Amino acid sequence: MNYRRLLIGLLFCVLCCASCNEFNRILKSTDNEMKYEVAMDYYDRQDYNHALQLFDLLQSAFRSTPKGEFVAYRTAMCYYLTNDFEIAAYYFNKFIQNYPFSKDAETAAFMQAYCSYKVSPIPSLDQTSTMTAISQLESFIERYPQSDSLARAQELLGNLHDKLEQKDYDICILYYKMENYNAAITCFENLLKKYPNTPHREEILSHIAIAYYDYAENSVPEKKKERYEACIERYNTLSYLFPDSPNLKEAEAVANKARKKLENIH
């Protein structure tokens, strides 16, 4: 049994070496037509790493030719299919610039935006790439309003806006937890203006009411009245819009305390 395994292992190594030697011979060859055919064969067999090595060599050789268009598009696809999304986005963009009237230009535009979407990070990190993806998706939607990928592009765009909203919300919560009530209130109020349909609206109104009470408690005497009143006002808004809110009980207790405080302010 051990002898058989050793024999199979040696045979595998021999085949690998032969295969590597053959591929290296192709790489060094000056026959670009042969390289192209081999690259396309690798691509069709989903061996994207080998295909990509050949496509990269053929970029300049076939530039401004019909085959150059195939090479450029498949180069971008190879990077995408090997999950190298950032570089894939670059090559899809390059394809669009060099072949704007290609039958694949629409797909390339969507793929560029989708690759940028894929590298968009979690909300807590810098969102520069998210903004890039949003810009590219908006450009795609504007340019190809009849595209079969339109609904998917709109879905992706919505996901990215949700991510930006979540980041803003998390920043507000951070101010709130740090007991920086002025910053928290301003942040929450701006969030409601920026995202009037936010799913966090109920929690935000509750947080604002409670933050105004705590802000008033730590304010100079001449500022307390308006801040207790703001607390009650936000509670009233919460109770009107969300009468069944699980946050209502806590906010109501705070609003009642604010009313008692107002009774002692002359």
pLDDT tens per residue across span 44-73 = 999 999 999 999 889 888 887 889 999 999
How far, in Å, CA of 125 to CA of 140, rounded?
25
The residues spanned by each domain of the chain are: 32-164, 178-261
Q: Is 247 exposed, middle or buried, given 0-12, 13-18 or 19+ CB atoms closer than 10 A?
A: middle
Domain 32-164 has CATH 1.25.40.10: yes
User: Matching CATH topology for 32-164 and 178-261?
Assistant: no
3-state secondary structure at position 114: helix
pLDDT in tens, the chain (266 residues): 444 443 333 333 333 344 456 666 766 666 778 888 888 888 999 999 999 999 988 988 888 788 999 999 999 999 999 999 999 999 999 999 999 999 999 999 999 999 999 999 999 999 999 999 999 999 999 999 999 999 999 999 999 999 999 999 999 999 999 999 999 999 999 999 999 999 999 999 999 999 999 999 999 999 999 999 999 999 999 999 999 999 999 999 999 999 999 998 76
Token digits of residue 52: 């990509």
Rounded to an integer, what is the distance from CA 228 to the centroid of its chain? 40
pLDDT tens per residue across span 72-95 = 999 999 999 999 999 999 999 999
How far, in Å, CA of 176 to CA of 210, rounded?
10
pTM: predicted TM-score of the whole model, two decimal places: 0.83
3-state secondary structure at position 167: helix
Fold of 178-261: Methane Monooxygenase Hydroxylase; Chain G, domain 1 (1.20.58)
Write the DSSP symbol of residue 22: H
